Amino acid sequence: MIAVNWHTCFFFLLALVACASAVAVVVTGDIVRMACWLVTALAAVAGLFFLAGADFLGAVQLMVYVGGTMVLLVFGVMLTSRGPFVSMKTGGGQWIMALVVGGALLTILLQAALSVPEWSAPERSQAEAAVPPTATPLGMGLMGIRVDQPEQPNRLLRRGMSGYLLAFEIISVHLVVVLVGAAYLARAKRRIEPERLQLHDLKTSES
């Protein structure tokens, strides 16, 4: 009787769901089904985040991606489709080219991932590793204080330990500007058909 490592079991389950959903996103032609498979893939990736000890990031992934971005995407699908089943076929040559390039890239990436022997053995076993909650260190790091690295013995490295306050400011302003710009771009414009435009011109010239 082999003791089953439940961490490994859940990892393989979630990895299988994530990879199968990603492949389903690629092979599905219908855009709404693609969105549904993408929801499954993103939720499985959030589960993988939880398994890796990143609890705050998993929650953020669930809320921002599965909750926010997917609602945005589905509304985009609803606003831009003219019929219930719009399908756009891709030519066979494009599929073959994409599969060849993707297969080559996957080969390179897998070879790189499996080629470092230090990575394959974790330092500690997962049973004895204590994973602290990460929300407080992340928040303090964004405010500019690195509570996870209280002292850095190397003086040169200590200069870079000032946290992520500047990056946080930059990304906040970036998000505000981008959302205002997106609202400006996507505002409802009245489309004027050419024949109605000519009628309008005629009326104005008569009067």
Partner 1 sequence: MNLLSEPIGLPHYLVVGAILFVCGMICMATKRNVLGVLMGIELVLNGANLNFIAFGSPLLRPAGGGSLGLDGQMIAIFVIVLAAAEAAVALAIALNYYHTHLTVDVDQGNELKG
List the interface residues with partner 1, window 48-67 (CB under 8 A): 48-49, 52-54, 56-57, 60-61, 64-65
List the interface residues with partner 1, window 95-124 (CB under 8 A): 95, 97-99, 101-103, 105-106, 109-110, 113-114, 116, 118-124
Residue with smaller CB distance to partner 1, 173 or 202: 173
Instruction: Give residue for tokens 């260190």.
Output: 137
Pick the piece of the chain touching partner 1 (CB under 8 A) from 150-158, 182-190, 195-203.
182-190
What span, in angstroms and rounded, lies between the C-alpha atoms of 200 and 198? 5
Is there binding between residue 156 and partner 1 (CB under 8 A)? no
**Residue of the chain from 47, 129, 156, 194 that contacts partner 1 (CB under 8 A):** 129
CA distances from 45 to 48, 67, 69, 148 (A): 5, 14, 15, 25
Residue with smaller CB distance to partner 1, 180 or 199: 180
Is there binding between residue 76 and partner 1 (CB under 8 A)? yes
Is there binding between residue 4 and partner 1 (CB under 8 A)? yes
What span, in angstroms and rounded, lies between the C-alpha atoms of 53 and 47? 10
Is there binding between residue 157 and partner 1 (CB under 8 A)? no
Q: What is the DSSP letter of 127?
A: T
Angle at 86 between CA 82 and CA 88, to 5 degrees: 130
Q: Print the binding letters for residues 26-45 with partner 1: x by CB under 8 A, - otherwise.
A: x----x--xx--x--xx--x
Is there binding between residue 197 and partner 1 (CB under 8 A)? no
38 near 27, Cβ under 8 Å?
Answer: no
What is the number of residues in the chain?
Answer: 207
Instruction: Give residue for tokens 């040559």.
Output: 93
Burial level of 155, CB count in 10 A (0-12/13-18/19+)? exposed
Instruction: Give the number of residues in contact with partner 1, rule: CB under 8 A.
Output: 97
Is there binding between residue 183 and partner 1 (CB under 8 A)? yes
Is there binding between residue 202 and partner 1 (CB under 8 A)? no
